[in-house]
């Protein structure tokens, strides 16, 4: 079966541009997570969904970051008016649930803001 | 606040040497613990996990980890490393009923052939 996929794999944006990052979770996985990984650091939690409900968005760094999962499957992370500090790898993960289930990670999208 | 700290930023070993990577966590309540590995050019993969029960857990590729509650530790071990174990290793923790995971900053392991 297919794993978690993310697109695009690489994105270069000029400062001030809006970007949209897509995540396709494993089929049947209820929970979906977004993380931001800066160079030399571990992934940092951004937000997570259970089906279409966004249950925790405490990690979103500013109101320029927005995530959605309208049909409880594919998710999009949108960053408005990108800044240089947004440059990072954005990881998506999915799991069967949140209670004692492991998360399966996608390959990530490397965003570079110039 | 939840936190995970990994003691070593970069570890260099020769093949057949024994490995122990330190991980300490700070979390209130029941905790789930994980070790992930990221091989060069690949995405994060789960090595092993602890949810409950036997505190000594065994994972893939001969790795194991021991949950010591009194020390808030979950150290990763392997008795004899191989060149193919060269990778970055991340320790992570999450509440048993929570969504978000908290990761350490990772340890880069280089195994010399």
SS3 for A28-77 is CCCEEEEEEECCCCCCEEEEEEECCEEEECCCCCCCCEEEECCCCCCEEE
**What is the CA angle A46-B90-B25, rounded to 5?**
80
Shortest CA distance from B106: residue in chain A? A42
Q: What is the radius of gyration, based on Cα positions, of chain B?
A: 13
| Residues in chain B within 8 Å Cβ distance of A40 | 105-106
Model confidence band, residue A36 (pLDDT cutoffs 50, 70, 90): very high
pLDDT tens digits, B27-77: 888 889 999 999 998 999 999 999 989 999 999 999 999 999 999 999 999
Residue A68 predicted with pLDDT over 70: yes
pLDDT tens digits, B86-95: 999 999 999 8
Residue A66 predicted with pLDDT over 70: yes
**Pairwise pLDDT comparison (B49 vs B99), residue with the higher score:** B49
**Segments of B41-98 assigned E as strands:** 45-50, 56-58, 64-68, 73-78, 87-95
Whether B46 sits inside 8 A of A55 (CB atoms) is: no
Tell how strand B102-103 and strand B3-6 pair up. unpaired
Beta bridge partners of A48: A33, A56
Please report the pLDDT score of residue B83 as a whole number. Answer: 96
Task: Please provide the average confidence, as pLDDT, over all residues in chain B.
Answer: 93
Please report the pLDDT score of residue A102 as a whole number. Answer: 83
Residue B100 predicted with pLDDT over 90: no
Whether B100 sits inside 8 A of A45 (CB atoms) is: yes
| Contact between A28 and B76 (Cβ < 8 Å) | no
Q: How far off is chain B from A82, nearest CA to CA, in Å?
A: 24
* CATH code for position B59: 2.60.40.10
Q: How far off is chain B from A106, nearest CA to CA, in Å?
A: 6
**Residues spanned by the domain of B19:** 3-112
* Cα separation, B107 vs B89, whole angstroms: 5
Please report the pLDDT score of residue A100 as a whole number. Answer: 62
Task: Please provide the average confidence, as pLDDT, over all residues in chain A.
Answer: 94
Q: What number of C-beta contacts closer than 8 Å exist between A and B? A: 58
Domains, chain A, ordered by start: 5-113 (2.60.40.10)
How many domains does the structure of chain B reveal? Answer: 1
- Quick one: A105 exposed, middle or buried, by C-beta within 10 A (0-12, 13-18, 19+)? buried
Residue A20 predicted with pLDDT over 80: yes
**Percentage of residues of chain A with pLDDT beyond 90:** 89
Please report the pLDDT score of residue B54 as a whole number. Answer: 94
């Amino acid at each position: 079966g297919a794993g978690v996929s993310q697109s695009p794999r690489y994105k270069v944006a000029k400062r001030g541009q809006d970007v949209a990052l897509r995540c396709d979770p494993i089929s049947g996985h209820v929970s979906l997570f977004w993380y931001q990984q800066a160079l030399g650091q571990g992934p940092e939690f951004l937000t997570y969904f259970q089906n279409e409900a966004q249950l925790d968005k405490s990690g979103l760094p500013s109101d320029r970051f927005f995530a959605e999962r309208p049909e409880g499957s594919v998710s999009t992370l949108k960053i408005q008016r990108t800044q240089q500090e947004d440059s990072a790898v954005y990881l998506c993960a999915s799991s069967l649930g949140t209670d004692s289930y492991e998360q399966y990670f996608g390959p990530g999208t490397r965003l570079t803001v110039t | 606040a939840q936190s995970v700290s990994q003691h070593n930023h970069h570890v260099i070993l020769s093949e057949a040497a024994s490995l122990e990577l330190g991980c300490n966590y700070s979390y209130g309540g029941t905790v789930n613990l994980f070790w992930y590995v990221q091989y060069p050019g690949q995405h994060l993969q789960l090595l092993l996990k602890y949810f409950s029960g036997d505190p000594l857990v065994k994972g893939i590729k001969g790795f194991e980890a021991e949950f010591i509650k009194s020390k808030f530790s979950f150290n990763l071990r392997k008795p004899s490393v191989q060149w193919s174990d060269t990778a970055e290793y991340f320790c992570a923790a999450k509440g048993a009923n929570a969504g978000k995971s908290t990761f350490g900053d990772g340890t880069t392991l280089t195994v010399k052939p």
